[in-house]
Chain A
Amino acid sequence: DVKVTQSSRYLVKRTGEKVFLECVQDMDHENMFWYRQDPGLGLRLIYFSYDVKMKEKGDIPEGYSVSREKKERFSLILESASTNQTSMYLCASSLQGTYNEQFFGPGTRLTVL
Protein backbone atom coordinates (compact mmCIF):
# COMPACT_ATOMS: atom_id res chain seq x y z
CA ASP A 1 0.00 0.00 0.00
CA VAL A 2 1.03 3.54 -0.70
CA LYS A 3 1.98 5.38 2.40
CA VAL A 4 2.14 9.15 2.61
CA THR A 5 3.11 10.63 5.95
CA GLN A 6 3.10 14.21 7.18
CA SER A 7 5.30 15.54 9.93
CA SER A 8 2.54 16.78 12.24
CA ARG A 9 -1.21 16.24 12.67
CA TYR A 10 -1.71 19.48 14.55
CA LEU A 11 0.48 22.58 14.64
CA VAL A 12 0.04 25.95 16.34
CA LYS A 13 2.27 28.85 15.30
CA ARG A 14 2.46 32.60 15.85
CA THR A 15 2.03 35.24 13.19
CA GLY A 16 5.35 35.95 11.47
CA GLU A 17 6.93 32.59 12.29
CA LYS A 18 8.54 30.47 9.60
CA VAL A 19 6.68 27.18 9.30
CA PHE A 20 7.87 23.93 7.74
CA LEU A 21 5.46 21.17 6.79
CA GLU A 22 7.04 17.97 5.63
CA CYS A 23 5.65 15.13 3.56
CA VAL A 24 7.24 11.76 2.85
CA GLN A 25 6.01 9.00 0.52
CA ASP A 26 7.39 5.49 0.30
CA MET A 27 6.25 4.35 -3.15
CA ASP A 28 8.83 6.03 -5.37
CA HIS A 29 6.21 8.38 -6.85
CA GLU A 30 7.44 11.08 -9.17
CA ASN A 31 4.67 13.59 -8.45
CA MET A 32 3.97 15.25 -5.12
CA PHE A 33 1.40 17.89 -4.27
CA TRP A 34 0.48 20.32 -1.52
CA TYR A 35 -3.13 21.40 -1.04
CA ARG A 36 -4.99 23.42 1.49
CA GLN A 37 -8.60 22.72 2.34
CA ASP A 38 -10.96 25.23 3.86
CA PRO A 39 -14.72 24.96 4.53
CA GLY A 40 -16.69 26.04 1.49
CA LEU A 41 -13.58 26.42 -0.68
CA GLY A 42 -12.73 22.80 -1.33
CA LEU A 43 -9.26 21.53 -2.14
CA ARG A 44 -6.93 24.15 -3.57
CA LEU A 45 -3.56 23.29 -5.07
CA ILE A 46 -0.66 25.31 -3.69
CA TYR A 47 2.37 23.75 -5.41
CA PHE A 48 3.35 20.50 -6.99
CA SER A 49 6.57 18.82 -8.03
CA TYR A 50 7.18 16.22 -10.72
CA ASP A 51 10.84 15.60 -10.04
CA VAL A 52 13.60 16.35 -7.59
CA LYS A 53 14.35 20.08 -7.46
CA MET A 54 11.43 20.76 -9.81
CA LYS A 55 8.35 22.68 -8.74
CA GLU A 56 5.33 24.26 -10.33
CA LYS A 57 2.87 26.76 -8.94
CA GLY A 58 -0.66 25.67 -8.35
CA ASP A 59 -3.71 27.89 -7.95
CA ILE A 60 -2.72 29.69 -4.74
CA PRO A 61 1.10 29.80 -4.36
CA GLU A 62 1.26 33.26 -2.77
CA GLY A 63 2.80 33.20 0.69
CA TYR A 64 4.21 29.68 0.24
CA SER A 65 7.34 28.06 -1.09
CA VAL A 66 8.36 24.42 -1.50
CA SER A 67 11.46 22.29 -1.52
CA ARG A 68 12.11 18.89 -3.00
CA GLU A 69 15.67 17.78 -2.43
CA LYS A 70 14.90 14.05 -2.44
CA LYS A 71 12.35 12.12 -4.44
CA GLU A 72 10.44 10.88 -1.41
CA ARG A 73 10.26 14.19 0.44
CA PHE A 74 8.34 17.38 -0.35
CA SER A 75 8.31 20.31 2.05
CA LEU A 76 5.94 23.25 2.22
CA ILE A 77 7.31 26.44 3.74
CA LEU A 78 5.38 29.39 5.06
CA GLU A 79 8.05 32.13 5.15
CA SER A 80 6.07 34.39 7.49
CA ALA A 81 2.88 32.77 8.74
CA SER A 82 -0.30 34.82 8.77
CA THR A 83 -3.68 34.14 10.33
CA ASN A 84 -5.25 33.63 6.90
CA GLN A 85 -3.00 30.60 6.46
CA THR A 86 -4.84 28.77 9.21
CA SER A 87 -6.09 25.71 7.38
CA MET A 88 -5.88 21.95 6.82
CA TYR A 89 -2.82 21.18 4.69
CA LEU A 90 -2.83 17.99 2.67
CA CYS A 91 0.04 16.34 0.87
CA ALA A 92 -0.51 13.83 -1.93
CA SER A 93 1.62 11.79 -4.30
CA SER A 94 1.08 10.00 -7.60
CA LEU A 95 2.96 7.84 -10.03
CA GLN A 96 3.67 9.53 -13.32
CA GLY A 97 1.64 7.80 -16.00
CA THR A 98 -1.69 7.73 -17.76
CA TYR A 99 -3.96 7.67 -14.74
CA ASN A 100 -2.32 9.93 -12.15
CA GLU A 101 -4.37 8.74 -9.19
CA GLN A 102 -3.32 10.58 -6.07
CA PHE A 103 -2.87 9.24 -2.56
CA PHE A 104 -3.16 11.58 0.38
CA GLY A 105 -1.36 11.88 3.66
CA PRO A 106 -3.30 12.33 6.93
CA GLY A 107 -3.15 16.12 6.81
CA THR A 108 -1.79 18.82 9.11
CA ARG A 109 -4.23 21.15 10.84
CA LEU A 110 -2.28 24.41 11.15
CA THR A 111 -3.48 27.22 13.37
CA VAL A 112 -1.74 30.60 13.16
CA LEU A 113 -2.41 32.87 16.12
Chain B
Amino acid sequence: QKEVEQNSGPLSVPEGAIASLNCTYSDRVSQSFFWYRQYSGKSPELIMSIYSNGDKEDGRFTAQLNKASQYVSLLIRDSQPSDSATYLCAVNSGSARQLTFGSGTQLTVLP
Protein backbone atom coordinates (compact mmCIF):
# COMPACT_ATOMS: atom_id res chain seq x y z
CA GLN B 1 0.00 0.00 0.00
CA LYS B 2 1.54 3.24 -1.15
CA GLU B 3 1.27 5.96 1.48
CA VAL B 4 1.84 9.67 1.58
CA GLU B 5 1.93 11.25 5.02
CA GLN B 6 1.56 14.90 5.88
CA ASN B 7 1.24 16.73 9.16
CA SER B 8 -2.44 17.55 9.30
CA GLY B 9 -1.85 20.79 11.14
CA PRO B 10 -3.32 23.24 11.43
CA LEU B 11 -0.14 25.22 10.95
CA SER B 12 -0.20 28.90 11.78
CA VAL B 13 2.52 31.39 10.86
CA PRO B 14 2.62 35.18 11.07
CA GLU B 15 2.53 37.23 7.92
CA GLY B 16 6.01 37.58 6.42
CA ALA B 17 7.36 34.38 7.99
CA ILE B 18 8.47 31.20 6.25
CA ALA B 19 5.91 28.39 6.23
CA SER B 20 7.36 24.88 6.03
CA LEU B 21 5.16 21.98 4.92
CA ASN B 22 6.41 18.42 5.01
CA CYS B 23 5.52 15.17 3.30
CA THR B 24 6.92 11.63 3.47
CA TYR B 25 6.14 8.78 1.10
CA SER B 26 6.52 5.04 1.32
CA ASP B 27 7.07 3.93 -2.30
CA ARG B 28 10.81 4.01 -3.02
CA VAL B 29 10.31 4.00 -6.79
CA SER B 30 8.30 7.24 -6.75
CA GLN B 31 9.43 9.58 -9.50
CA SER B 32 7.17 12.63 -9.55
CA PHE B 33 6.16 14.85 -6.67
CA PHE B 34 3.57 17.59 -6.60
CA TRP B 35 2.20 20.24 -4.30
CA TYR B 36 -1.39 21.38 -4.69
CA ARG B 37 -3.03 24.33 -2.97
CA GLN B 38 -6.72 24.06 -2.13
CA TYR B 39 -8.75 26.99 -0.86
CA SER B 40 -11.85 26.20 1.16
CA GLY B 41 -14.68 25.10 -1.10
CA LYS B 42 -12.47 25.10 -4.20
CA SER B 43 -10.64 22.43 -6.16
CA PRO B 44 -6.90 21.64 -5.85
CA GLU B 45 -4.57 23.81 -7.91
CA LEU B 46 -1.12 22.56 -8.93
CA ILE B 47 1.54 24.97 -7.66
CA MET B 48 4.81 23.02 -7.74
CA SER B 49 6.25 19.92 -9.40
CA ILE B 50 9.62 18.38 -8.61
CA TYR B 51 11.25 15.34 -10.14
CA SER B 52 14.90 15.26 -9.03
CA ASN B 53 16.72 15.62 -5.75
CA GLY B 54 17.41 19.11 -4.52
CA ASP B 55 15.55 22.39 -4.53
CA LYS B 56 13.24 23.94 -7.08
CA GLU B 57 12.23 27.55 -6.68
CA ASP B 58 9.27 29.39 -8.20
CA GLY B 59 8.70 32.86 -6.83
CA ARG B 60 8.04 32.62 -3.10
CA PHE B 61 7.71 28.82 -3.28
CA THR B 62 10.54 26.31 -2.95
CA ALA B 63 10.05 22.58 -3.23
CA GLN B 64 12.71 20.32 -1.75
CA LEU B 65 13.13 16.64 -2.57
CA ASN B 66 15.28 14.04 -0.83
CA LYS B 67 14.66 10.63 -2.38
CA ALA B 68 17.05 8.84 -0.02
CA SER B 69 14.98 10.00 2.94
CA GLN B 70 11.69 9.72 1.00
CA TYR B 71 10.87 13.25 1.93
CA VAL B 72 9.49 16.24 0.05
CA SER B 73 8.79 19.67 1.47
CA LEU B 74 7.34 23.01 0.43
CA LEU B 75 8.65 26.31 1.77
CA ILE B 76 6.63 29.47 1.38
CA ARG B 77 8.69 32.59 1.95
CA ASP B 78 7.18 35.93 2.97
CA SER B 79 3.87 34.21 3.76
CA GLN B 80 0.75 36.21 2.99
CA PRO B 81 -2.80 35.83 4.35
CA SER B 82 -3.77 34.81 0.80
CA ASP B 83 -1.56 31.71 1.25
CA SER B 84 -4.00 30.42 3.87
CA ALA B 85 -5.24 27.16 2.38
CA THR B 86 -4.85 23.40 2.60
CA TYR B 87 -1.72 22.09 0.86
CA LEU B 88 -1.82 18.60 -0.61
CA CYS B 89 1.26 16.55 -1.36
CA ALA B 90 0.94 14.04 -4.23
CA VAL B 91 3.31 11.35 -5.47
CA ASN B 92 3.48 9.26 -8.62
CA SER B 93 5.54 6.10 -9.02
CA GLY B 94 5.83 6.47 -12.76
CA SER B 95 4.52 3.01 -13.48
CA ALA B 96 1.04 4.03 -12.36
CA ARG B 97 -1.15 6.61 -14.04
CA GLN B 98 -2.70 7.80 -10.80
CA LEU B 99 -1.31 9.94 -8.00
CA THR B 100 -1.30 9.09 -4.32
CA PHE B 101 -2.38 12.10 -2.27
CA GLY B 102 -1.65 12.98 1.31
CA SER B 103 -4.45 14.13 3.55
CA GLY B 104 -3.26 17.74 3.41
CA THR B 105 -1.89 20.35 5.80
CA GLN B 106 -4.06 23.33 6.67
CA LEU B 107 -2.03 26.54 6.73
CA THR B 108 -3.21 29.79 8.27
CA VAL B 109 -1.16 32.96 7.79
CA LEU B 110 -2.01 35.48 10.50
CA PRO B 111 -2.02 39.18 9.54
Residues of A within 8 A of B (CB): 31, 33, 42-43, 45, 48, 50, 58, 90, 94, 96, 98-107, 109
Contact = CB atoms under 8 A, between A and B. Distances in A.
Given A33-B98, A94-B97, A98-B32, A105 B92 contact: no
Contact of B102 (A31, A42, A98, A109): A42
Nearest to A45: B98
Given A31-B97, A42-B103, A107 B43 contact: yes
Contacts of A98: 31-32, 94
A104 B49 contact: no
A106 B97 contact: no
B49 A99 contact: yes
Contacts of A50: 97
21 contacts: A31-B97, A33-B98, A42-B103, A48-B98, A90-B43, A94-B97, A96-B97, A98-B31, A98-B94, A99-B31, A99-B49, A99-B51, A100-B32, A100-B97, A100-B98, A101-B34, A102-B34, A102-B46, A104-B45, A106-B42, A109-B41
B101 interface: yes
Interface size class of B (residues with CB under 8 A): 20 to 34
B55 to A, nearest CB: 18
B65 to A, nearest CB: 13
Contacts, number: 52
Interface of B: 31-32, 34, 36, 41-46, 49, 51, 88, 90, 92, 94, 96-99, 101-104
B101 A43 contact: yes
B88 A43 contact: yes
Contact of B98 (A42, A58, A104): A58
A26 B36 CA distance: 21
